[in-house]
Amino acid sequence: MNIRYPNGKIFQSTSSTSAKKKAPVLYGNRGMTLEEDLHESNLYYLHHQMAVVHKKPTPIQIVDVHYPKRSAAVIKEAYFKQASTTDFNGVYNGRYIDFEAKETKNKTSFPLQNFHEHQIQHMQQVVKQNGICFVILLFQVFNEVYLLPAEKLFYYWERKESGQRKSMTKQEVEQDGHLIPLGFQPRIDYIKVVDKLYC
């Protein structure tokens, strides 16, 4: 029997996969997708016992299911149970880690409309509990990824809420964030930046 994660991937226990030789992850000739690259990076951390970080499943309420065959079910209608908080969470070096991942095609700024009030409130609660909290921002045009500490994001959010600028300039992200060099394995090695900032 196959068990699937919410993203459709088949679950494989670590005991069965560790016995098999893992095929190398190839990144040539493919467009970068932030979520996939973070997922691959998190798998790397997990397999090397560096951190346990997973994408949070989105809670949904299934309302209508259609059964075209006895062996297959198709969800026809579903609703989000509640507003989701952030994309990823887990444990690193004995501390809770929580972050959101966003991307933009803008060249000169990062729109704050990409974030929602409930996400900011959630991140503020994590920071109050001394958790490691940040956002990972991708500027698609430049293929540049930055880690921006949540406390820095709060400043720009409050500025927006007071009726001022509705975005962070790229220069501000460069100044307050930390560029994450893209690699092979892991693709986005954000833990190196976390080590410098929080450990």
The CATH number assigned to the domain holding 49 equals: 3.40.1350.10
Mean pLDDT of 144-170: 98
Residue 76 forms part of a structural domain? no
Q: How many domains does the chain have?
A: 1
Bond before 186 cis per omega within 30 degrees: yes
Is the whole model's pTM more than 0.85, yes or no? no
Question: pLDDT > 70: what percent of the chain?
Answer: 76
128, 98 in Cβ contact below 8 A?
Answer: no
Range of the domain at 120: 25-57+85-198
pLDDT tens sequence across 90-104:
999 999 999 999 999
pLDDT of residue 72: 77
Q: Is residue 27 exposed (0-12), middle (13-18) or buried (19+ Cβ within 10 Å)? A: middle
Mean pLDDT of 144-164: 98
Mean pLDDT of 128-134: 98
Residue 11 forms part of a structural domain? no
Residue 141 forms part of a structural domain? yes
Pairwise pLDDT comparison (17 vs 11), residue with the higher score: 11
Mean pLDDT of 122-145: 97
pLDDT of residue 11: 54
pLDDT tens sequence across 13-34:
544 444 444 444 443 334 458 9
Residue 14 forms part of a structural domain? no
d(C-alpha 23, C-alpha 96), whole Å: 30
166, 111 in Cβ contact below 8 A?
Answer: yes
Residue 3 forms part of a structural domain? no
pLDDT of residue 180: 97
Residue 138 forms part of a structural domain? yes
